[in-house]
Amino acid sequence: MKPNERFTEVTINERRFQIGKFDALTGSFMAVKLAGMIAPLVKSINVDAVRGAEKLEDVKMSSFDITGILSAIGSLTEEDFAYVQGKCLRVCREILPGDLAPVIRADGSFGVTDLDDDTATVMALTVHALMFNIKSFFGASPLASLVGGLLTTSPRG
């Protein structure tokens, strides 16, 4: 991603989506909010083992303290999760023939078909939007290649 890139496209379950940038205030808040959420996760990763990996497949599961990761994720409140996911999905649009359709409407309802019960696609969109918007904060850290590897995957439906 180039620093000034305003959009990216992803394909998830054979559907194409455009992901946009957060506004500066939302992006700033998300960076601060996520720093607090990510800190416990980072403590659960053997950074030296991740540093040498060139691809996601090169990272051994033993590099992660799965219990610590699940504990950190599990401590996320429903309110915090809903805030993060809502902000992420609001910058996503499905690329349709001749149009872009918002994934989430202003009233919070789904703006495209067949996503209201498609957890895998909704979670994948959330992760892609989040990482597109905060990836620059990772810089050249060992986690950057891991994050990049995660973003090249897509769920199978």
Give pLDDT, residue 22: 92
Please identify every stretch of the chain with a pLDDT value under 70, giving residue numbers as ranges. Answer: 1-4, 37-73, 136-157
What pLDDT shows up at residue 90? 95
Taking each continuous run of H as one helix and of E as one strand, the counts in the chain are: 6, 4
| pLDDT recorded at residue 2 | 55
Q: Where do the domains of the chain lie? A: 10-151
pLDDT of 130 = 85
pLDDT, residue 111, reads 93
List CB contacts of 72: < 8 A, sequence separation 6 or more: 37, 40, 41, 44
Amino acid at the residue 71: S
Match 């559907």 to its residue by tokens. 15
pLDDT tens readout for residues 26-65: 888 888 877 776 666 666 566 665 565 555 555 555 555 5
How much is the pLDDT for 75?
A: 72
Whole-number Å distance between alpha carbons of 134 and 32 = 10
